[in-house]
Amino acid sequence: MAEKANYIPISHEAYTLVPPRPKEKNCTLARAARAFGFTAIALFSVHMVLSSVNFSHLGRTTGCGGHGRLIHDAKLKLPAYYSLPSGDRIPSVAFGTYTPGTPQDQVGNVVKTALKAGYRHIDGAWVYGNEKEVGRAIKESGVDRKDLWLTSKLWNSFHRPEDVEPALDETLRLLQTSYLDLYLIHW
C-alpha cells in the first residue's frame, strides 16, 4: 500500500515570474483611459516646448557679423578672411573634404573643382581616409601652397602625447606638404 505523502501541493503558478493575470473582463474603459492619459501628456509636452520657442528669430543670423539680419538679405556678406593675432589670415569659408559615399578616385576631382572655384581653405582629417587624394589634387591644381590654408584633425585614438607627432607626420606625408596651418583635435 502506498504511503501518503507528507507535503502540501503547490500550484505551478507559484513558480512563474509573471504575476497571474486577473480573470478576463471588459477593459475597454481602462484602455481608453490609458490612451487619453498618454495623449494628454504628449500634447502637454508639445505645448510646453512650443511655448518656450521664440519663432520671431527664425530666418535670422547672428554669427559671422550677421547681427540679426535676415539670412536672405542681399547685403549679408562674410569677410574674405579673418586676421589672426599672429598676422596670418584664415579664409572665412573652408571646403570640407569629408565625402561619404564618394569613390576615392573622385575625391581629387572634387577638391580640384573647389580650388578652381576659388576655395583657399581646405578642411580635412585623417579619419576621412582621403588625405592622399586631397594632397595629390592640391599638387595638381597649380595653386601655390602659400596661397592655401590647410586644416586637418588629430583623430581620437592619437591623443596621447607620444602619438601626436607620428600622426601629424603621417598627415603631412599623405597631403604632400611640409606644414599645416591649423591642426585640430578631432573629438
Active site residues: 128
Query: CB neighbours of 49 closer than 8 A, spacing ≥ 6?
Result: none
Dihedral angle sign, alpha carbons of residues 138, 143, 145, 149 = negative
Residue 46 to residues 37, 42, 43, 53, 83, Cα–Cα distance (Å): 14, 6, 5, 11, 45
Residue 126 CB-density burial (10 A; 0-12 exposed, 13-18 middle, 19+ buried): buried
Instruction: Cell numbers for 145, please give them.
Output: 601652397
The Cα 42–Cα 47 span in angstroms is 9
Instruction: Cell numbers for 42, please give them.
Output: 504628449
Residue 176 to residues 17, 49, 89, 163, 170, Cα–Cα distance (Å): 65, 51, 22, 20, 10
